[in-house]
């Protein structure tokens, strides 16, 4: 029997069907304020395993648990008094929102969620559709991005549809908050009390909410802390600390490169006609009329975050393209002191290109 995904409008009947599916161990794709998620009952190991199977996701890659009420964390976390105090202080400022906290897990959290580690990533999404799905389903929702593992993350319901064409997947429509979506994954930070009354903060994945923002929250509440950024690139055999640490990730199906003036890989201008150029703020504009396709990411870091995955998906479909050249060098001077969006974008580009640079010469 042929199977196809279906995109459903946001009606009360649709959400009742979602509840039945989630309760019976099935999967539902849903929008968040970051990217689309592929969701299942977080406390049902078989349902979580189905997510891994459908995505082709390595089982060493943990999954984030989405919730709608802070009290829901009581049963899945096992925090010290101080860890819970710090969590609540941070939560009061950043949740709901695009940030995941990695916390000490209780023993009811399936190992499929944590990749066998003692910590679980949790997030309260700031999206009305995601929150309604969680509330109506009456359970915590485990959800990685709703794409085939390693491919560009999905910004729209159509992206999800295209990645799961051979699956009978229930996809919630994304029209309600589509224009508010950030477009890149949540910040991930780990909280752990290592010594009395000092909290260790490890930023495992950069995102919209930055380390400086977290510092300000803690300092305004007189919390002593240590904070570190942890940049890790893993293969499929190493247990990861959080999603997004694979060396090749967020990638299009054809080779992609970051344009730089220094690189062992070169392409002559006469050969640019075989490449798609992805540009931010008029980077590489001089090649606009000679490349195969010129795609515009926008003029700000927020534009790039919102558009990067959609543009990469457009680029990979260009007939005759042998590669993609990406340049955001004209945005290098832009930075928001309380956001790590610049670091996050560079991380996504580094992983989607596998760290490969290309130089254009005459």
164 and 270 belong to one structural domain: no
* Three-state secondary-structure class, residue 270: helix
Q: Are residues 25 and 160 in the same domain?
A: yes
Q: Which of 180, 203, 234 is the last residue of a domain?
A: 180
Contacts of 189 (CB under 8 A, 6+ apart): 99, 100, 101, 102, 201, 202, 203, 204, 211, 214
Can you tell me the distance from the alpha carbon of 294 to that of 284, in angstroms, rounded to the nearest whole number?
Answer: 9
Residue 196: inside a domain, yes or no? no
Residue 238 maps to a domain: no
Is the same domain home to 16 and 132?
Answer: yes
Strand order in the sheet with 6-8: 6-8, 170-172, 28-30, 37-41, 141-142, 65-66, 119-123, 99-104, 187-195, 198-205, 224-229
Q: What is the CATH number of the domain that holds 292?
A: 3.40.50
Tally of structural domains, the chain: 2
The band of 232, judged by pLDDT with boundaries at 50, 70 and 90, is: confident
Query: Range of 352's domain?
Result: 256-361
**Where residue 146 sits, what CATH number does that domain have?**
3.90.870.10
Query: Do 13 and 155 lie in a common domain?
Result: yes
Domain limit, last residue, from 150, 180, 210: 180
In a domain, 231, yes or no: no
Residue-wise pLDDT tens digits, 299-351: 999 999 999 999 999 999 999 999 999 999 888 777 888 999 999 999 999 99
Mean pLDDT, rounded, for 143-169: 97
In a domain, 320, yes or no: yes
* pLDDT, the chain, mean: 94
Last residue of a domain, one of 180, 208, 240: 180
Q: What is the pLDDT of residues 198-208, one digit of tens each?
A: 999 999 999 99
Mean pLDDT of 216-240: 86
**Of 225, 172, 183, nearest to 208 (Cα)?**
183
Same structural domain, 273 and 174: no
pLDDT at 243: 77
> Coil, strand, or helix at residue 85?
helix
Query: What pLDDT sits at residue 336?
Result: 83
How far out from the chain centre does Cα 78 lie? 25
- Same domain? 14 vs 158: yes
Q: Do 12 and 144 belong together in one domain? A: yes
Q: Is 120 helix (H, G, I), strand (E, B) or coil?
A: strand
DSSP 61: S
Question: What is the b/e burial string over 187-207, where b = at least 16 CB atoms within 10 angstroms of the residue's CB?
Answer: bbbbbbbeeeeebebbbbbbb
What is the pLDDT at residue 331? 83
Q: Is residue 173 part of a domain?
A: yes
């Amino acid at each position: 029997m042929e199977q196809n995904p279906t995109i459903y409008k946001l009606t009360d009947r649709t959400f009742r069907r979602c509840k039945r599916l989630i309760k019976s161990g099935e999967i539902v794709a849903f929008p968040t304020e970051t990217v689309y998620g592929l969701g299942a009952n977080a406390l049902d190991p078989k349902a979580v395993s189905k997510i891994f199977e459908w995505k082709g996701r390595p089982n060493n890659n943990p999954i984030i648990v989405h919730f709608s009420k802070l009290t829901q964390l009581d049963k899945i976390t096992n925090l010290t008094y101080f860890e819970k105090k710090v969590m609540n202080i941070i939560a009061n400022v950043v949740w709901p929102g695009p940030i995941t906290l990695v916390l000490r897990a209780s023993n009811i959290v399936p190992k499929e969620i944590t990749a066998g580690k003692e910590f679980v990533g949790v997030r309260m999404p700031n999206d009305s559709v995601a929150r309604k799905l969680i509330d109506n389903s009456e359970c915590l929702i485990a959800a990685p991005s709703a794409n085939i593992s390693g491919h560009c993350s999905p910004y729209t319901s159509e992206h999800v549809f295209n990645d799961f064409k051979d699956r009978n997947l229930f996809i919630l429509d994304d029209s309600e908050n589509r224009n508010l979506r950030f477009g890149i994954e949540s910040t991930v930070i780990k909280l752990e009390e290592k010594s009395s009354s000092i909290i260790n903060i490890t930023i495992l994945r950069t995102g919209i909410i930055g380390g400086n923002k977290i510092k300000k929250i803690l300092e305004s509440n007189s919390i002593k802390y240590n904070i570190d950024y942890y940049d890790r690139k893993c293969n499929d055999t190493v247990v990861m600390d959080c999603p997004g640490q694979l060396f090749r990730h967020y990638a299009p199906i054809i080779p992609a490169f970051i344009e730089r003036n220094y690189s062992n890989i070169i392409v002559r201008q006469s050969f640019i006609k075989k490449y798609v150029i992805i540009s931010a703020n008029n980077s590489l504009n001089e090649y606009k009329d000679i490349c195969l396709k010129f795609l515009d990411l926008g003029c700000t870091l927020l534009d790039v975050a919102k558009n990067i995955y959609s543009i990469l998906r457009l680029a990979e479909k260009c007939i005759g393209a042998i590669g993609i050249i990406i340049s955001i060098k004209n945005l290098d001077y832009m930075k928001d002191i309380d956001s790590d969006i610049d670091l996050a974008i560079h991380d996504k580009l580094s992983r989607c290109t596998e760290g490969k640079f290309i130089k254009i010469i005459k």
